[in-house]
């Protein structure tokens, strides 16, 4: 944290890679997933828009082009937004690939 009260993606990555993160009692995968979702959902409407997702893609070192294709794949109901369930599947897929 840099004291500005807002957690940036960079700070989130730093926290995640901190040794404490791997110690017993760390949040479970579901917890991390929810935190990440809330972090990326910049306008707090409970869904990730393409713009929100592009920030996530940046975090996953994905190009915008790949991210948009990936987004379309993950948006299983085709409403142009990723809800928490769709996002959770995305994260699971990302970590298992």
Cα separation, 77 vs 79, whole angstroms: 6
Cα separation, 64 vs 21, whole angstroms: 29
Binders of Ca ion among 24-63, rule CB under 5 A? 41, 43, 45, 52
Q: By C-alpha distance, which of 80, 79, 55 is closest to 67? A: 55
- Out of 69, 72, 77, 85, point to the residue binding Ca ion (CB under 5 A): 77
**Contact region with Ca ion (CB under 5 A), list: 7-15, 18-26, 64-72, 77-85:** 77-85
| Chain residues in the site for Ca ion (CB under 5 A) | 41, 43, 45, 52, 75, 77, 79
């Amino acid at each position: 944290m840099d004291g500005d009260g807002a957690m940036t993606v960079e700070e989130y990555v730093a926290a995640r890679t901190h040794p404490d993160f791997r110690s017993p009692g760390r949040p479970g995968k579901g917890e991390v997933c929810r935190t990440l979702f809330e972090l990326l959902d910049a306008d707090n409407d409970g869904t990730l828009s393409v713009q929100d997702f592009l920030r996530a893609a940046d975090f996953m070192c994905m190009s915008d082009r790949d991210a948009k294709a990936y987004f379309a794949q993950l948006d299983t109901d085709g409403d142009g937004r990723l809800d928490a369930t769709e996002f959770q599947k995305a994260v699971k897929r990302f970590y298992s690939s």
